[in-house]
Amino acid sequence: MGRDRYMAQAIQDTLLPSEPPQLERYCARSLCVPGEKVGGDLYDVVRLNARQVMFYIADAAGHGVSAAILALLFKHRLRLFDETGAPLRPAAILGHMNEVLVNEISAPGVFVTAIFCLLDIENGELIAASAGHPPLLVHEAHGRVRMFEHTGPALGLYGNAVFAEREILVKEADRVLLYTDGVFNTTEKRPLDQSQLIHELQSIDDRSFVLERILNKARGDQPLAVQDDLTLLLLEASSGISRFDHRTNFADADMSASSLDTNISRISQAEAKGFTVLVLEGRMTWEYSQPFFDAVIGSIERGFGVIVDLSRCIHMDSAVLGTLHELVESAQKSVADSKVKIQDASHSLVRTFAELGMDSVLRSIQMQSIAIPKTRATVEASDGNLRRQQMRLLKAHEVLASLNDTNRDQFALVVDDLREHLTYSSGMTSPR
């Protein structure tokens, strides 16, 4: 990575939000992929008060350090509240930011496109205003996609610019998609266009993989050749897990997209160079924690080291995370030379390991990867022993809770509930 690209990437990393806020009856997901020439994409989801949420996406013109600095100025001068502490409306925000850019940086080719959305989470009323940005899309629960064009020019072009607002009712299970124009420039051949984006949004059945599927469609059958940053932000009017996914390189994005070709989550294994290679694919949720544990322990008992390949893993829940940490530490304490190593974890997974204090897991990540055997056997699913699964869940969360005070507070209720349920199911006490 060149010096300019490194600097631009470092600036952009400071602008991206770390984690989404808690939203009742809504969930927010993002996917941000840097281009070959890092630009000025930024976004955020901000809980303003008990009822209102502001979410936005912006794209500073240009590439490299200049675009990143423009985005930095935008973020620094951004105001979401007025002098009284009341939330500003989207049009007022755009008007203020337009004045900032015109008065402080006015120059040819210097501008920012943006969309700001103010959502009332109690009644679903959304107020949106757009400054020269690609159209906002609302995918309704029954299938129709509504497109809302920009309501004013890009920021920084005209001192007297006026920004109108659109009022949209977001109903249960509707999805609101914001994106930057990088989604249309991922391949040199057959680039995705607006109509294809709408069609892809309508055709996705599995709502958990919307952004990954859009990325996969955008890249077509070609390796990623992103010239511009690509950022997607989805707000869905249904309960679910919110997550922000920031990729640091093309490999992360390319692998995650291609790994979803079959839309399957599974664990497979093979022997290679004296190791058992375990490949975790898709979304690793609690159902996979016991089979994963059994496969690793079985290999160690046979005297094999274990390589856990995460190149195709796009998500781990707390049960799998705790199980992974337990297995790594157990192997490290073993007198045998059977260790658990990890390879090709995405940036988002590594960030999760760090945030949870999983230091042993971080130290087990090897820089040089081995090739994944093409022929692998699928690890059989859980044997259906409910109590065994519950004990695995309890142990995994106890492991995470033991790492630091933050984790202990975060997982305290889960640990207590699992302990109580297991005690009661054994007939030792009565439930409360």
DSSP string, 80-113: -B-TTSPBPPHHHHHHHHHHHHHHHH--TT--EE
Percent of the chain residues past pLDDT 70, beyond the cut: 79
Q: Is 397 helix (H, G, I), strand (E, B) or coil?
A: helix
Most confident of 117-121, 146-150, 184-188, 260-264: 117-121
Q: Do domains 3-258 and 264-432 have the same CATH topology?
A: no
Lowest-pLDDT range, 40-44, 174-178, 188-192, 196-200? 188-192
Q: How confident is the model at residue 432 (pLDDT cuts 50, 70, 90)?
A: very low
**So what's the pLDDT on residue 233?**
95
Distances (CA, A) of 142 to 145, 200, 254, 353, 410: 9, 15, 31, 38, 37
Sign, CA torsion 423/428/430/432: negative
Cα–Cα nearest to 121, from 177, 46, 56, 57: 46
Which of the four pLDDT bands, split at 50, 70 and 90, describes residue 255? Answer: very low
| Summary mean pLDDT of the chain | 82
Find the range with the poorest average confidence among 42-56, 172-186, 389-403: 172-186
Is 113 or 253 the better-scoring residue by pLDDT? Answer: 113
Whether 197 has a pLDDT exceeding 90, the answer reads no
Fold of 3-258: Phosphatase 2c; domain 1 (3.60.40)
pLDDT of the residue at 5 = 56
For residues 228 and 248, give the distance between their C-alpha atoms in angstroms, rounded to a whole number: 14
Q: Are the CB atoms for 28 and 45 separated by under 8 Å?
A: yes
The two three-digit tokens of residue 175, written as one number: 């999805």
Residue boundaries of the structural domains of the chain: 3-258, 264-432
> Quick check: 223 pLDDT over 50?
no
Q: Mean pLDDT throughout 84-93?
A: 96
Q: Among candidates 106, 224, 213, 235, which has minimal Cα distance to 159?
A: 106
| Phi, psi for residue 118 in degrees, rounded to 5 | -110, 120
* CA atoms of 171 and 287, how far apart (whole Å): 32
pLDDT of amino acid 312: 87
In percent, the amount of the chain with pLDDT more than 90 equals 40
pLDDT recorded at residue 9 = 60
pLDDT band at 232 (very low <50, low <70, confident <90, very high): very high
pLDDT at 335: 53
Averaged pLDDT, 234-256: 70
Is the pLDDT at 297 greater than 80? The verdict is yes
pTM of the model: 0.59
Token code pair at residue 350: 């590594």
**Taking phi first (over 0 means left), then psi (-120 to 50 degrees means alpha), and beta for anything else, what does residue 208 get?**
alpha
Residue 13 has pLDDT above 70, yes or no: no
Q: What's residue 17's pLDDT?
A: 87
Say if residue 340's pLDDT is above 60.
yes
Model pLDDT, residue 414: 75
- d(CA 421, CA 398) in angstroms, rounded, equals 15
**For 133-148, what is the mean pLDDT?**
92
Contacts 24+ apart (CB under 8 A), 261-266: 261/216, 263/206, 263/209, 266/378, 266/379
Query: C-alpha distances in angstroms, 51 versus 171, 199, 344?
Result: 16, 32, 40
pLDDT at 131: 96
Helix (H) or strand (E) holding 429: none
Q: What is the CATH architecture assignment of 264-432?
A: 2-Layer Sandwich (3.30)
Angstrom distance (rounded) from CA 62 to CA 326: 46
The one-character DSSP state at 288 is: G
d(CA 200, CA 186): 15
Kindly tell me the sign of the dihedral angle through the C-alpha atoms of 345, 351, 357, 362: positive
Q: What is the DSSP string of 217-253?
A: HHHTTS----SS-EEEEEEESS----EEEE--SHHHH
Q: Tens digit of pLDDT for each residue in 170-179?
A: 999 999 999 9
CA–CA distance, 344 with 88 (Å, rounded to integer): 43
Place of tokens 């901000």: 46
